[in-house]
Every structure is written in structure tokens, then in C-alpha cells.
Amino acid sequence: MVLLSLSLACTDDVSETSSGDDEVGSESGGSSESSESSGTEAGTDDVGTDDVGTDDADTEGTGTDMGMEETGSEEEMGSEEEMGSEDTDTGGEPVCGNGEVEDGEDCDDGGQSASCDEDCTLAECGDGVVNTAAREGCDDGNAVDDDACSNACVLASCGDGIVNDGEQCDDGNDVDTDACPSTCMHASCGDGFVHEDVEQCDGGGETETCDADCTAVSCGDGTVNASAGEACDDGNEVDTDSCLSTCESASCGDGFLQAGAEECDDGNAVDDDTCSNNCTVNCAGEIFVEDWNGYSYWKVPVEGLMSDENIAAACTACNLDVPCSGPVGCQFNDDVCVQTGNETNCSNPMMKMSQMLCDGANPGACEPMWGLYQYLGGTWSNGSCGAEEANWCAFGNDATDRYGLCVEAF
């Protein structure tokens, strides 16, 4: 619009100038110089050189005016282009992290914050983006609560109350005496924790005070505890088997006769007494009557009290038998003694033998029989019946370290 106005203005000026020049030319009278001069001027005016800018003054003035107007218009246009360029930049792809919420962004805090993820989406546990500012330890984007990352975006760990891979249990507490200790493994004997109302102790294995089965150590409980000094534990109090009631292995010299393994065990280190140091019998007895109706009678030393029990033990130690004191049916007979049939009077122990050895004398008057005692089956209150000088029956319970009467069938 500005250029069009300028063009119209220039046309009017040229018309007016031409008219004036014609009049001037007419007044000049047609001189060739004048004509040429006028023609030149007229022609110049007609062309509008002054207006176009040939004339210095007019050119400068008009050109300046036009240039300023044109230049001003171009500046204005240039400014509009620059504005258009800025509009283009603003309307481009949004830049996450510039601190301004743009199209396609839920938020933009210039980086990760408690409410905004670093990808400019709202922070939410389960979105698959780990937001440490929101105190997330993990975020696997799934709804599985027992994997490595819980639904609360917390890394799986023992004690979180969720049974994860590698855990047998997880009760969410740090109590070590319940069914699920702080190790997240089921309570068991040997884990080092005393399971309340289930275990008596738990030393993580055998200790001096706790058996491997988590019961308190006690000799006789049937559990061998080497840490407590037990060599064996058969759970009984029998001292004649391979394990004594003290939880020590039976051995020769312990004072207990191990059935089937020892002939004797006097518990001492004397090798030349009736029981040798290897627990075999040193039978110091001697044959008293070599042959009497198929039996040999022995005179065997007895240590200690001359009781029926000790006499029987001495005979057994020499692999001999105990003879019965009377005939079948005698009150002093039992299943320990052997019936020889040689003594016929139940009330007179050793009488037949004494009469045979000493011409019919009773045992108290038969010197070869002095110090010899007869087994009576434990039925006589005074113990065994002995023959001492001028004394028959001497009370066995009043005598010690004498001889017992034993027999051997041949």
C-alpha cells in the first residue's frame, strides 16, 4: 500500500511538470539551444528522473524517503519473520527436564522429584521407573509381590513379611524363638536358636550341655554326647552290658562283669588273685574229692563274706557248679545248685562227705573239711553252712575269706 501511493504521487508530479515545461518551452520561442535544453529538461522531467533519483537533491530526498519507507517496511517484515521463527521453535517437540510442563508431559520438575519421574511422568510405584527421590528401591512394573521387587517398590529382603525366592518363611519380625527366625528359614534343631516350647536347647550342634537332638545332656537319655564326655549311652542303667550306667564303655577292670565277654572282673590291678588283670579266672581252688559218683569236689577260695551269693560266684568263676546240699525236694535246693545225689539228708549239709573222709565223723570233727562252706540256696537266714573246728554249721554271714564247695561233672 505504501509503494502504490508513492507511484501515484510520482505520476501526478510528472504530469504537472510536463505541463509547466511545455509552457516554458512555448515561451522560449523555439530556440534550438533552449529547445534542446528545454527538451532535455522536459525529457528529464517527463521521465521523472528527478523523482527516480538522478537529480542529486531530488534523488537524495526522494530516494531517502523511499528507502526509509521501504527499509522500514523490510525491517517490519523482518521482525515478523523473526517472530514467526520463534513461534516455530515454541511449537516443536517438548523438552523433558527443562522445568516447564509442555504438551505430552504430565510434569516437569527439571529432573527427578518425589512426584515426577525423570521421563516427565507422574511418579507412581509400579510404573516401571525407579524414582529414588520418591524413596523407591526398585520398580519392576508388575503386580507380583513375592519377586525381587515388592508391590511397594521395596527390594525383597528377609523380614519384609513376604516369602521371596530363597526364603522358607517370613513373618516380618526379628524374633528368633518362634517358628520362623530372623534367617527366614523354618526353625529347626541345629539352627542355633532355641525354639520356644519345642526345644530344650540349641547350640547349633552338639555341645557340653546340649545334645545334637536339642535336648539337655543327661547320661541315660539314649543320645551319645562326646562333647559331654560320654563314650556311649544305651538309655539304661544295666552295668553288665557293653555300656555302663555311667555312659562309659564296659572294660576289664571296671568292677562290672560283662556278660559273655569276661570270666570275672574284680576291679583291681592284682594279677595273682582269683581274677587276673585280663578278667580271666585264676582258679586257686583244688580238688578236694576227685571222684564221687561222677563228680569231682573242689575247695575254692572266696573273697569276702561267705554268703551263698559269693560262694556261687566263686564256683562260676572257676567254671565249676554249686552242689545242692540235700536230696531232691530239699528246702535248701534251688535252680542254681546241681543235684549230685550224694547227700541224702536235707538237714545235715556235707554230712555224707565228712563221714566218707573221716570215718563217720561229722564235719566239725573232720579236719580236712575245716574252713569249707556249703551253698544253701539263700534260704537260711545265717547264710551258708560252714565246717569249722568243733563248729558245724558255722554261720556263713559271720565268716570271711574262706572256701566254697564246688563240683565238676566228668
pLDDT, tens digit (0-9, with 9 covering 90-100), for 333-357:
999 999 999 999 999 999 999 999 9
| Helices (runs of H) and strands (runs of E) counted in the chain | 6, 6
Q: What is the pLDDT of residue 280?
A: 85
Q: What is the pLDDT of residue 51?
A: 42
Neighbour tally for 20: CB within 10 Å: 12
Q: What is the pLDDT of residue 91?
A: 56
Using CA atoms, how far residue 259 sits from 238, 251, 254, 269, 281, in Å, is 11, 11, 13, 20, 14
Amino acid code (one letter) for 303: E
Q: What is the pLDDT of residue 341?
A: 94
Closest listed residue to residue 372, CA positions, set 345, 356, 391? 391
Using CA atoms, how far residue 347 sits from 125, 326, 355, in Å, is 107, 8, 15
Cell numbers describing residue 290: 576227685
User: pLDDT digit string (tens) for 78-127?
Assistant: 444 444 344 444 457 889 999 999 998 999 998 889 999 989 999 999 89
Whole-model pTM: value is: 0.38
Look at the block and give the residue holding cell 521463527.
85
Mean pLDDT taken over the chain: 80
Determine contact, residues 385/325, Cβ cutoff 8 Å: yes
- 204's CB contacts (< 8 A; 6+ apart) are 190, 191, 192
Cell numbers describing residue 342: 550224694
Amino acid code (one letter) for 383: G
User: pLDDT digit string (tens) for 184-243?
Assistant: 999 999 999 999 999 999 999 999 999 999 999 999 999 999 999 999 999 999 999 999
Q: What is the pLDDT of residue 266?
A: 86
Query: What crossing angle do the helices spanning 32-47 and 2-28 adopt, rounded to 10°?
Result: 170
Length of the chain: 410
Cis peptide before 393 (omega within 30 of 0): yes
Determine contact, residues 306/384, Cβ cutoff 8 Å: yes
Q: What is the pLDDT of residue 187?
A: 95
User: pLDDT digit string (tens) for 124-151?
Assistant: 998 989 998 988 889 988 988 888 888 8
